[in-house]
Amino acid sequence: MHPHQRQLQILSRRHLLQHSVMGLGSIALSSLLSNDLPAAEKSAGHSGVRNSATFAPRARNVIFLHMVGAPSHLDLFDYKPELQRLNGQLVPDHLWEGLRLAFIRKQPRLLGTTMQFRRYGESGIELSDALPHLATVADELCMIRSLHTEQFNHAPAQLFFQTGFGQFGRPSLGAWINYGLGSENQNLPGFVVLITGNVAGAGNSLWGSGFLPSTYQGIEFRSSGDPVLFLSNPEGIDQSARRNIVDNINRLNQIQLADAGDPEIATRINQYEMAFRMQTSVPELMDIRSESKEVHELYGTKPGSSSFANNCLLARRLVERGVRFVQLFDENWDHHSGVFPNVRKKCNEVDRPIAALIKDLKQRGMLDDTLVVWGAEFGRTPMLQGTENSGRVSDKVGRDHHKDAFTVWMAGGGVKRGFTYGKTDDIGFHVVENPMHVNDFHATLLHLLGVDHEQLTFKFQGRKYRLTDVAGKVAHDVLA
């Protein structure tokens, strides 16, 4: 192209952007027109992925429950009679030699569980008595007992579990899904985060967008107080004034976008518009008082409070309104001491609402296309951590981090019901059947959403990146 023609093209583009009607109507029209495109095509020319998929989605939405700190799978899901028999004995030399753990330094003793296990439902899935409510939906669960990861400290392992990489800077699972599929509700984000307590370790990088445009990051909602920080109008500013402010700010942003061509400026424009629409949609969403008495009794929710139960109910309300990915984080599952009483205490907080969520989704006809995922960054060791060096084990002892074998489960959204996948050895130390790496787990989850994990890519610093990096295989045996 001749330089003069190129300059005319740039001037024409600037003139169009700077002199178009920039009020609510034109922005709304632009938004409506863009809805016909895959979400990824809306971002700086990156191609969408749904059109390149060769299979139909089994799930439309995901509710991902991350138990921060890593629960002991050996006390909840993976019962080992041989570990019970060997309880209190020193770990065999062949297992201890060369073993690297986070905190245990001297050869420890094996630690059985004080929990009672039973088989539940027609499927006979074995669960701990710490989970009596989950036991009532055992036939909905797809139990994966063979997950393994590469990290054994919390922050790197949390990052690996949520981003597929053990260091900061990569997009989270929810951000990738939001980038690839977008939201079904233009008045709500495609990726929403709900937190119980504080999220330690990797912090908000667990729902960050990394090198993806920031419009795809998770948006934290709060179950008490202002649902989203700074969403409400300041005192003295009404809705009409706020609309005028947003329009004028976006006029300036459009001028800057025309000059710089930076996609983050487009993200800023979209976020202003989304925030304006959320002023109406979010308060209604977060007000759970409209739910029936029966629903509150099912979940154990209390309107106006902040709790994991409230967050589970909000998760159902979010996917009901078309939010693609809802992430719940629950803190304080890191039990280096007092593992038995503390696991029971935490289960008392989450067991009822998790089972209620599955039942509620099912009775509303939503479980078939909503994938519920439960998991954590790693598992816990079959040996004890603590000062007990005799054959006697007390409630004071804990379990250290264990990366080589742990359990996650899924329900709904195209996975087999009442199904167990994978197996660990007699003491729960190594995977011996159907190992599933975190990359495989991510590939399988994306597959359930109709996305080929090898096709969901983003070019950054000269390289095409993906959630599963250069690995990952779909575990077809868990698909319904």
Q: Which long-range contacts (CB under 8 A, 24 or more apart) does 314-318 make?
A: 314/194, 314/221, 314/223, 314/285, 314/286, 314/288, 315/63, 315/194, 315/357, 316/63, 316/357, 316/360, 316/361, 316/364, 316/366, 317/285, 317/288, 318/188, 318/192, 318/285
Average pLDDT over residues 424-451: 97
The pLDDT value recorded for residue 229 is 56
- pLDDT digits 0-9 by tens, 99-146: 989 999 999 999 999 999 999 999 999 999 999 999 999 999 999 999
- 167 has a pLDDT exceeding 80: yes
The model's confidence at residue 223, banded by pLDDT at 50, 70 and 90, is low
Q: What percent of the chain has pLDDT over 70?
A: 79
Dist CA 405 CA 184 (whole Å):
36
Q: What percent of the chain has pLDDT over 90?
A: 67
Is the residue at 10 inside a domain? no
- pLDDT digits 0-9 by tens, 260-310: 777 777 777 676 566 656 666 577 788 899 999 999 999 999 998 889 999
- 185 has a pLDDT exceeding 50: yes
**Other CB atoms within 10 Å distance of the CB of residue 425:** 16
- The contacts of residue 349 (CB under 8 Å, 6+ apart) are 307, 308, 309, 330
Average pLDDT over residues 341-347: 97
The pLDDT value recorded for residue 326 is 98
Range of the domain at 356: 61-231+289-478
Average pLDDT over residues 405-433: 98
Is the residue at 241 inside a domain? no
- 234 has a pLDDT exceeding 50: yes
Average pLDDT over residues 5-15: 42
Domain of 191, CATH number, reads 3.40.720.10
Is the residue at 202 inside a domain? yes
Is the residue at 55 inside a domain? no
Is the residue at 96 inside a domain? yes
Average pLDDT over residues 384-408: 81
- pLDDT digits 0-9 by tens, 44-91: 333 344 444 567 899 999 999 999 999 999 999 999 999 999 999 999
- 391 has a pLDDT exceeding 50: no
Domain count, the chain: 1
The model's confidence at residue 228, banded by pLDDT at 50, 70 and 90, is low
Instruction: Point out the least confidently predicted range of 136-150, 170-184, 215-229, 334-348.
Output: 215-229
Of 173, 172, 179, the closest CA to residue 208 belongs to 172
The model's confidence at residue 200, banded by pLDDT at 50, 70 and 90, is confident
Dist CA 92 CA 96 (whole Å):
6
Helix, strand or coil, per DSSP, at residue 28: helix
- 425 has a pLDDT exceeding 90: yes
Torsion angle defined by CA atoms of residues 362, 479, 57 and 308, in that order, rounded to the nearest 10 degrees: 40
- 40 has a pLDDT exceeding 80: no
Is the residue at 244 inside a domain? no
- 478 has a pLDDT exceeding 80: yes
Is the residue at 472 inside a domain? yes
CA-based end-to-end distance of the chain: 54
Is the residue at 203 inside a domain? yes
Residue appearing with tokens 């309107």:
303
Burial of 210 from C-beta contacts in 10 A (0-12 / 13-18 / 19+):
buried
The model's confidence at residue 243, banded by pLDDT at 50, 70 and 90, is low
- Residues constituting the chain: 480
